[in-house]
C-alpha cells in the first residue's frame, strides 16, 4: 500500500491519498497535527517489545498482532454502530520440554490484559491431579473450582493428554467434559490453553473428535536450533548482567550441539540452557571466592572453566 495511514485523535483511521499534493499545501497552511500511528498503537508497540524478548516464536508474535488488530477494529466497529464480533481464543500448545510453552502462556495472559481481552490476565497452571478427583462428582467439582479461579485470566493445563489416559471409565474424561462445557458457556470469561508434547497431544485429540475444533489456535513449539539456544542463553546472561568469553561460548555451543543430538525428544531446550547457565554462575562464584580484587569485569565474566559439563555417559 503506498498511501500512509494516519490516526486522528479520535482513533479513526484515515488513508491519505495524493500525499505529494498535500505536502505542497502543508507549506502554505499549517497542517492539522495528526496523531502518528505509533502513538495511537502504543500498546501494540509495548506488546511487540515484550514478545521480542523471546527468541523465534514468529507464529505467536503474528497471532498477538492479529488479536490486537481484531480488538481495535472491533471497538471501532462498535463506535460506528456495527456489530462487534466475538472470537474464541482457546489455544493448544504442542511442543517438547523447555520450548517455551509456559513462558508464552504467562506472557499472553499479561498482554491480553493490556489489550482488554482479559480483565485480570493471571495464569492458573494446572495438571491432571488438580482437575481429576477420586470419586464420582468430585472431578466436576474440582474442575469447576479451577475454572472459577481462572476467571478473568488463563487456565493452562499442562500435559493435558494425561486426562485422556485412562479411557472411558477414567475420571479424566469427566474433567475434559467439564472443561469443554465451560469453555463454551464462559467463552469470554477465561481462556483455556491445553499444552503437551506433540505426539501425546495428537493422540489425545484423536480420542476426542469434538475437541480439536474447540481450539481454533494451535501452536507448535519446535525444538530450538543450537543458534537459537545460544541466543536464549545470551539473553538470559544479559538479563542477569553477565558476559561470556569467546572460548566459553564455543565450549557451550559444542556441548549444546552434542546434547541436543543424543537426547532427541527428551532434550529440555530452553530449560537445559537455563540450568547450564545457573551452574556456570555458581562455578564462577566459587572461582572468585579466594580472589582479593574483585573488579566489575571479573564479577560479570563467565569463562570457559566455569562451564563444567558432566561426563558423556552422565548426560
Ligand atoms: N523463545 C525463548 N526465548 C527466551 N527464553 C526462552 C524461550 N523459550 C524458552 N525459554 C526459556 O526456557 C525455559 C523453559 O521454558 P518453559 O518453562 O516455558 O518451557 P515449557 O515448554 O513450558 O516446558 P515443559 O513442557 O517442560 O513444561 C524458561 O526459562 C524460558 O525462559
Ligand atoms: Mg511448562
Same domain for 185 and 116: yes
| Per-residue pLDDT reduced to its tens digit, 2-38 | 333 333 333 333 333 333 333 333 434 444 555 555 5
Same domain for 123 and 52: yes
Nearest CA to ligand 1 atom 11: 270
Same domain for 206 and 295: no
Query: Residue 164 has what pLDDT?
Result: 82
Residues in the chain: 315
Same domain for 280 and 310: yes
Same domain for 210 and 268: no
Same domain for 212 and 63: yes
Q: Is 57 touching ligand 1 by the criterion CB < 6 Å?
A: yes
How far apart are the CA of 192 and the centre of ligand 2, in A? 15
Domain count, the chain: 3
How far apart are the CA of 101 and the centre of ligand 2, in A? 5
Same domain for 231 and 145: no
Same domain for 171 and 184: yes
Q: Is 271 touching ligand 1 by the criterion CB < 6 Å?
A: yes
Domain termination site, one of 221, 251, 267? 221
With beta carbons less than 8 A apart as the criterion, state whether 101 and 195 touch: yes
Nearest CA to ligand 1 atom 9: 100
Nearest CA to ligand 1 atom 4: 54
pLDDT tens digits for the chain (315 residues)? 333 333 333 333 333 333 333 333 343 444 455 555 556 788 888 888 988 999 999 988 998 899 899 888 988 999 999 998 888 889 999 999 999 999 999 889 888 888 888 889 999 999 999 999 988 889 999 999 999 999 999 999 999 988 887 766 778 888 888 888 888 888 778 999 999 998 888 888 887 777 888 888 899 999 999 999 999 999 999 999 999 999 999 999 999 999 999 998 899 999 999 999 999 999 999 999 989 889 999 999 999 999 999 866 566
pTM of the model: 0.80
How far apart are the CA of 201 and the centre of ligand 2, in A? 14
Nearest CA to ligand 1 atom 3: 54
CATH of the domain at 271: 1.10.8.60
What 3 state SS string does the chain have?
CCCCEEECCCCCEEECCCHHHHHHHHHHCCCCCCECHHHHCHHHHHHHHHHCCCCCCHHHHHHHHHHHHHHHHHHHHHHCCCCCCCCCCCEEEEECCCCCHHHHHHHHHHHHHHCCCCCCCCEEEECHHHHCCCCCCHHHHHHHHHHHHHCCCEEEECCHHHHHCCCCCCHHHHHHHHHHHHHHHCCCCCEEEEEECHHHHHHHHHHCHHHHHCCCEEEEECCCCHHHHHHHHHHHHHHHCCEECHHHHHHHHHHHHHHHHHHHHHCCHHHHHHHHHHHHHHHHHHHHCCCCCCCHHHHHEECHHHCCCCCHHHC
Q: Is 56 touching ligand 1 by the criterion CB < 6 Å?
A: yes
Query: Residue 313 has what pLDDT?
Result: 59
Domain termination site, one of 165, 190, 221? 221
Q: Is 54 touching ligand 1 by the criterion CB < 6 Å?
A: yes
CATH of the domain at 150: 3.40.50.300
Q: Is 100 touching ligand 1 by the criterion CB < 6 Å?
A: yes
* Grid cell digits, residue 208: 476426542
Same domain for 217 and 95: yes
Same domain for 45 and 32: no
Domain range enclosing 300: 226-314
Query: Residue 265 has what pLDDT?
Result: 86
Domain termination site, one of 196, 221, 246? 221
Same domain for 123 and 48: yes
How far apart are the CA of 98 and the centre of ligand 2, in A? 7
Query: Residue 307 has what pLDDT?
Result: 97
Same domain for 106 and 158: yes
How far apart are the CA of 43 and the centre of ligand 1, in A? 24
Amino acid at each position: 500500500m503506498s498511501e500512509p495511514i494516519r490516526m486522528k485523535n479520535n482513533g479513526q483511521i484515515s488513508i491519505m491519498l495524493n500525499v505529494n499534493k498535500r505536502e505542497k499545501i502543508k507549506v502554505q497552511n499549517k497542517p492539522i497535527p495528526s496523531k502518528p500511528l505509533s502513538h495511537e498503537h502504543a500498546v501494540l508497540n509495548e506488546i511487540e517489545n515484550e514478545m521480542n524478548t523471546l527468541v523465534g516464536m514468529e507464529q505467536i508474535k503474528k497471532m498477538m498482532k492479529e488479536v490486537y488488530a481484531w480488538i481495535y477494529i472491533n471497538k471501532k466497529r462498535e463506535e460506528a454502530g456495527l456489530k462487534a464480533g466475538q472470537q474464541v481464543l482457546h489455544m493448544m500448545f504442542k511442543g517438547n520440554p523447555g520450548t517455551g510453552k509456559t513462558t508464552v502462556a504467562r506472557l499472553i495472559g499479561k498482554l491480553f490484559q493490556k489489550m482488554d481481552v482479559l480483565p485480570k490476565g493471571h495464569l492458573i497452571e494446572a495438571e491432571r491431579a488438580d482437575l481429576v478427583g477420586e470419586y464420582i462428582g468430585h472431578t466436576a467439582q474440582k474442575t469447576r473450582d479451577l475454572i472459577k479461579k481462572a476467571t478473568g485470566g488463563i487456565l493452562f493445563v499442562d500435559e493435558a493428554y494425561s486426562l485422556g489416559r485412562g479411557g472411558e471409565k477414567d475420571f479424566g474424561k469427566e474433567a475434559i467434559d467439564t472443561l469443554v462445557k465451560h469453555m463454551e458457556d464462559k467463552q469470554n470469561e477465561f481462556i483455556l490453553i491445553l499444552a503437551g508434547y506433540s505426539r501425546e497431544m495428537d493422540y489425545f485429540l484423536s480420542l476426542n473428535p469434538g475437541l480439536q475444533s474447540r481450539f481454533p489456535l494451535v501452536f507448535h513449539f519446535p525444538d530450538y536450533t543450537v543458534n537459537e539456544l545460544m541466543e536464549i542463553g545470551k539473553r538470559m546472561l544479559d538479563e542477569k548482567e553477565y558476559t561470556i568469553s569467546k572460548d566459553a561460548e564455543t565450549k557451550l555451543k559444542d556441548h549444546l550441539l552434542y546434547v541436543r543430538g543424543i537426547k532427541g525428544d527428551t532434550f529440555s531446550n530452553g530449560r537445559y540452557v537455563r540450568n547450564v547457565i545457573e551452574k556456570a554462575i555458581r562455578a564462577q562464584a566459587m572461582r572468585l571466592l579466594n580472589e582479593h580484587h574483585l573488579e566489575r569485569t571479573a564479577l560479570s565474566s563467565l569463562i570457559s572453566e566455569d562451564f563444567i559439563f558432566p561426563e558423556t555417559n552422565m548426560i
